[in-house]
Amino acid sequence: MQPEKGDPSVRVGVSDIAAGFRAVGVQPGDILIYHGSLSSMGTVEGGPTAVIDGALEVVGPDGTVVMPTLWYSGHENPDDFDIATSPAYIGRLAEAFRTDTRSIRSNHFSHSISAIGPQAAELTADHEKSQPLHTPWSLYAFGPGSPWDRLYDWNALYCFIGVTMMVCTMKHYIEARIVEECLGQAAPERRPALSARLMRIGQPGVWPFYNSEAMEELLTRRELVARSRIGSASIRGVRMRVLVDETFPILRGSPEEWFDPAFLAWREECLAG
């Protein structure tokens, strides 16, 4: 997905960034996570650090700011991941956040996050030791006790600057829980064979990928996604619990509208008991 095209004649500073975050619901003491395109905002005075500082200004001394700092793009050897040196591939904002001396990174090759603030150490701790939950990447990317699970528990505000929710990493947490729920309906003796057909690294298989842009449109129509602007870019904001708890019943209620036929057939086998 291409980010929004920014207008370089529009100049943006720390106060403008703080105002944009504030306009979509960020409050003092919040846990704030964001994706974004630097160029979409226009000319950002101070570059990526200004975006970090604007976010920190809004959450204040008691809040924590987070970015996904994803390294694995599908071509690397997971064993080569180095928490200190493996770069984030998802843009200048993420890489600047990862290398900021104030940030702490979680230890996971595919879905690490980095965080700055008083909750950063707790949020990023033991990512690789979270409880297992199957995903196409590993059992520990989004499992109970992972940073992504904590972001849900802590009801972080999830923001998108100059990009749509197509880049919403949390969708994989939702997908993993959909799979877990389906497997829970199958007879215990059938679960290993059903699990073996799921997508994983180096192995094709079924997975409940869904259109997160279409889901964004639906949640926006329900007035659950706040929108504003930072410079020439749009900014969207949604609470993690709203995102997850509203998406689940939509997917459950009309699975044929969201999932491909292969996953639907696998799901029916699970539900048959």
pLDDT digits (tens, 9 = 90+) for 184-221: 999 999 999 999 999 999 899 999 999 999 999 999 99
What does pTM read for this prediction?
A: 0.95
pLDDT digits (tens, 9 = 90+) for 31-52: 999 999 999 999 999 999 999 9
203 CA to centre of own chain: 23
d(CA 102, CA 97): 9
Q: Which two tokens stand for residue 270?
A: 């699970």
d(CA 52, CA 232): 18
Domain ranges of the chain: 11-168+212-251
pLDDT at 1 over 80: no
Query: DSSP character for 160?
Result: E
